[in-house]
Amino acid sequence: MMPSGMRVAIKRLKEGVEVCHFLDEICEKAKIRHPNLVGIIGYCNKGDQSLVYEYCLNGDLATWLLGDRMTSILTWQQRMNISIGIARGLWYLHHNPLKKICHGDMKLTKILLNEKLEAKISDFNLSRYKSKEKTGQEKIANDVFNFGILLLQIMTGRKSTSIAEARDAVLRKGSLSGLADPRLNGAYDSAAFQNAMSIAVHCTNPSERERPNMEEVLQKLEQIQTQILVRTNCKDVIY
């Protein structure tokens, strides 16, 4: 906690990080601001080199979906909001006007939730885009694949949903209701669930070239959200 009373998160860096590299990364990260990215507040280069980040009250998404929060289950609407938030943050990283960034390690533990249960992507590494192991486009495609896995986990509440099972059901245009998180107790929009699962399957296409980009993914998720609101409003009018 800061002297002002503001709660923050401290991340100590590994030993051996050069000071010049440390300061360069801080300066670059400080320029990257988005509502769905964990913001950097400051740093400490005395003793242990540390980064100071905004504090996310509700922890990581893995705890909510796979942990012991038996009394706090994410609702269908919260899951949709979180999915869209992650997509917005990842889209921003991929299309950042200052520097295109690949996250490189998208998974449930990297998604933090603030007091409003809004998604915040953490631990994006500015240097990952420069990696010579893969081209920038290949690493972006890998981010999309990992987002697809995240979306499957958010929708199903499972640690490892069978991509093959989901893909088979989508291609056959069969029902995917059996894959929905049972803790939702059926309280979800079945058409929206089907569409969201279809997006996840497309993101995890074995062919990198066949995967959508995050702009396309975001647009489709926002369309699903709009369709849900339209159907909800229609029901209110009817009843």
Return the H-helix or E-strand segment holding 132. Answer: none
Active-site position among 105, 123, 168, 189: 105
> How many residues does the structure list for the chain?
239
- The candidate with the shortest Cα–Cα distance to 170, out of 127, 205, 119, is 205
What is the distance between the alpha carbons of residues 229 and 239, in angstroms, rounded to a whole number? 15
Annotated active-site residue 68? The verdict is no
Count of C-beta atoms within a 10 Å radius of residue 166: 21
Relative to beta strand 8-12, strand 50-54 is antiparallel
- The candidate with the shortest Cα–Cα distance to 191, out of 162, 159, 223, 237, is 223
- The candidate with the shortest Cα–Cα distance to 123, out of 93, 151, 150, 165, is 93
- Alpha helices by DSSP H, the chain: 19-30, 61-66, 76-94, 136-156, 163-171, 190-203, 214-238
- The candidate with the shortest Cα–Cα distance to 79, out of 112, 119, 115, is 119
- At a CB cut-off of 8 Å and minimum separation 6, what does 161 contact? 152, 153, 179
Catalytic residues: 105
